[in-house]
Structure 1
Amino acid sequence: MRVATWNSQGNPTSSDSKIKILSNLLNECDIILIQECGGLSQASLDSVSTQKWLYSCEQVGAFNNRCTTCIISKQVPVAHGCIYLQTDTGRSSLYATFGEGFTVLTFHANAGGRGAADAQLVGQHAVGKIPGNFIIGGDFNCVPFDLSSRRNIIRIGSNSRGKELRIVSSGSNTHPGSHHELDYFLVSENIDVRNVAKYHMQGGDHYPVIMEFDIGY
């Protein structure tokens, strides 16, 4: 399976260049996690592809109305909704759980030095409260190194102390404006990652990132 994460910096159907990227991602990926998706609707998505469905498109930034995220999938999830995290920045995470026994989450952390703290909270929730496997994709507004030192903190208080969380990144600059890698994935230990790479086209101020994976049990 393939999952993509992309901060589209506004509705991904709002320009020809973004539509081209969205169309390619829809063709290449099973699930797409988008941050800052603006007013994306099922109708506008259908104008690009009728093979995918929009789930959990919602405002998840209590103090920033740009923070609208969504999950696009060709599979029908058994559940989807919003996880309200106790973050100082008001950021929450949308999720969709699929019949194969895994949950995907899309997350947009706050900028301005708060990204790692936000990402830590969504990681703690996933490790402690989501049964089975999970994939968190998003714009974390911090580099993977900032999170690596927090992995043990994320595990503290989880229901299963042996449950692991891995940082899966492309190792590439995904945000040319800051010259940093801000877009990547956090995955549970039984997600068998085959490949992860930055997409070759930039849309908005971010590059999408695609991860190919299998689910282990």
Structure 2
Amino acid sequence: MPTPNALPPHSIARPALRATLAFGALMLMAQGAQAVPGFEEVKRDFRSSDTAVLDRNGELLQRVRTDASVRRGQWTALADISPALRTAMVLSEDRRFYEHSGVDWRAVSAAAWGNLWNTRTRGASTITMQLSGLLDEDLRRGGGGRSLTQKLGQTVAAAQLERQWRKDQILEAYLNSVPFRGEIVGIDALSRTLFGKAPSGLDAREAAVAAALVRAPNARP
């Protein structure tokens, strides 16, 4: 006679079946996956929302807002971003960033186990997976979240990024591309708009605020 807390066999079989089907779909997608863009290509295609107005000697006169859809600053090299900010973002978004190869399977397992028991858990999306969603329009998160197909595509793209890019390049591109609160995109725009300073000058408390705004970009003030 089953114990009162025992799960019926079919409730255990269904997640296993879904995982098997998802793995099969993942393999099919991997075979037909398109090549991910190179780091230098992504950096070259980055566009600020402001246009710099220079004098005849090349000196900056002013910056004019030319893209009203987002607030995006200049591309910032990883070496010019505060170590406190880099640490805060990794700890907040992907604490095993330097250990995995694009997908944190430990986090995936924890999330799947939590879903099985209807427990609220932190998402399993890594920094590399998030970046792949930012680079590919087809993988971007919609209002209702990502579909299963998008999640699988994100996993494949993340694995490709990890094979072709270095970790420092992934983190640099992520920090320059990640949306923060409201219209702000990228760490340069956030630092100058919210804190009035360059990304290199953020302290630990400011870095914690920045990391929190990535987790909940649409949160109330």
Relative to the length of structure 2, the TM-score reads: 0.23
Task: Give the structure with higher Rg (CA).
Answer: 2
Which fold has the larger relative contact order, with Cα–Cα distance below 8 Å and residues 6 or more apart in sequence?
2
Structure with more of its chain in helix, by fraction:
2
